[in-house]
A and B are shown apart, each in its own frame.
Chain A
Amino acid sequence: MITRKLFLRFPKCETEKPIVYHLVKDYNLIINIFRAKVTANEEGYLVLDVTGREEDIDRGMDFVRSFQVTIDPVNKGVRWDPQRCTHCGNCISHCPTHALHIVDPASREIGFQEELCIECLNCLENCPFGACSSAF
């Protein structure tokens, strides 16, 4: 069993199909949805963890792609811009999973470990310098 974090972008027309249902039912995948925005007549987004056997995940993703859904295997839902970050550390007490963390206690440099991010968006609200942003 492996877990992958995926970022799915749905084109306008495919949002009415129960894709997640089929991933669970037909491909034996365990789904953990972090964040979703799926609205009729608009582009949709889904950020989720899928857990299962590697071949089931691959087959499931082939199924998802058959709907012209784009799959990014990396976290694109929440972005941290190291150029805008001043490393103040205001985010640290608001990030529940320590995705935003202090890399080096001496220099107090901030880092972002994408795979720990559950997309709660606390950092978007709390960064004084606008270093964190959301794809949707």
Chain B
Amino acid sequence: MNLNECPSNDYLAKLASADPATTDHFVRHYTNILQVKLRARTIYGHEAEEIRQETFRRVLSAVKEGKIRDGTKLNAYVNSTCNHVISEHFRHTSRLLPLDASASWQSTDNTEDAVLLAEKLERIRKVLDKMSVRDREILNAVFLEERDKDAVCLQLGVNRDYLRVLVHRAINSFRQEFLQ
């Protein structure tokens, strides 16, 4: 199964019978996806790991108990299970998120990761350099200062559509910088 395919019923059956290769594939495949999902919610490090493990435990248990019979529903099941685990986790921990969520992303003891991070920062500086002062102000206000987007748009005289287009352009430029 690759990412652009829905899991088949055969895949589900192998997962239910605890086939080692299928289980290993399941964990690797969804680790990658859940990492993105959790990162979007600024959940990193051991907290993300706990949520991921608990999600896998519940999904695999449900598959073994035959609660999922249609392979095409596995993605939706993993997603909704993860949502439940996230909400339970924050209910129990009174929602303790890093003040600067990106700090976890930034902190690394690995030299190779540190080099990659430095390279990433340099590339993003190039992307920001090419932007107008106003566009940089908007992105900083939205992503860095996490200010209310409507207030930012009002203050800088742009509408919400412009904000989306700006983000779209910035992401594309960022990607182009990496492709070079």
Chains A and B form a bound pair: no
Interface residues of B (CB under 8 A from A): none
* A contacts, CB < 8 Å to B: none
